[in-house]
């Protein structure tokens, strides 16, 4: 079993970017390095879905809805997997998890990290002098 901690979520505007991290603080590199990792997400009222995976050799695969926008990478020395998200859309709003396929099949999940994408504009400041 690999203990995983996700971080980096937050509020983003549509079209913006976020980078999520997934760290295995208790793993030793000989355990971490051979593992395939997946990033998953669960939107409100929906089932958890696989977003993409990265193998031990760095090969990646993505679900069609994020291809060209999301990128998974890993730094084995830091025992960390990353999910770079660009061109964010409101429908990307979800709790994001990373996991190994084995732990996912065993329904063994971490806390995840919340990503919220709104489609509000920047707004414009109005100042009224007395």
- pLDDT, mean of residues 37-56: 97
How far apart, in whole angstroms, are the C-alpha atoms of residue 40 and residue 94?
9
Evaluate whether 29 touches 79 at the Cβ level (below 8 Å). yes
Q: What pairs with residue 5 in β-bridges?
A: 23
Give the pLDDT score at 23: 96
pLDDT tens profile 2-42: 999 999 999 999 999 999 999 999 988 889 999 999 999 99
Give the separation between CA 109 and CA 103, rounded to whole angstroms: 7
What number is the average pLDDT over the span 63-72? 98
**Of 108, 52, 58, which is closest to residue 85 (Cα–Cα)?**
52
Q: Average pLDDT of the chain?
A: 95
- Specify the pLDDT at position 21: 98
DSSP annotation string for 48-99: -EEEEEE-TT--EEE-GGGTTTEEEEEEGGGTEEEEEE-S--GGG-EEEEEE
Query: If you average pLDDT over residues 103-107, what whole number do you get?
Result: 92
Q: Give pLDDT tens digits for 108-127.
A: 999 999 999 998 777 788 99
């Amino acid at each position: 079993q690999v203990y995983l901690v996700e971080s980096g979520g937050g509020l983003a505007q549509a079209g913006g970017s976020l980078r999520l991290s997934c760290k295995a603080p208790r793993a030793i590199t000989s355990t971490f390095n051979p593992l395939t990792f997946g990033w998953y997400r669960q939107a409100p009222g929906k089932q958890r879905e696989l977003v993409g995976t990265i193998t031990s050799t760095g090969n990646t695969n993505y679900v069609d809805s994020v291809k060209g926008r999301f990128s998974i990478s890993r730094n084995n020395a830091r025992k960390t997997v990353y999910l770079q998200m660009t061109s964010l859309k409101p429908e990307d709003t979800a709790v994001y998890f990373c996991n190994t396929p084995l732990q996912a099949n065993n329904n063994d999940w971490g806390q995840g990290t919340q990503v919220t994408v709104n489609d509000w504009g920047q707004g414009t400041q109005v100042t009224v002098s007395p």
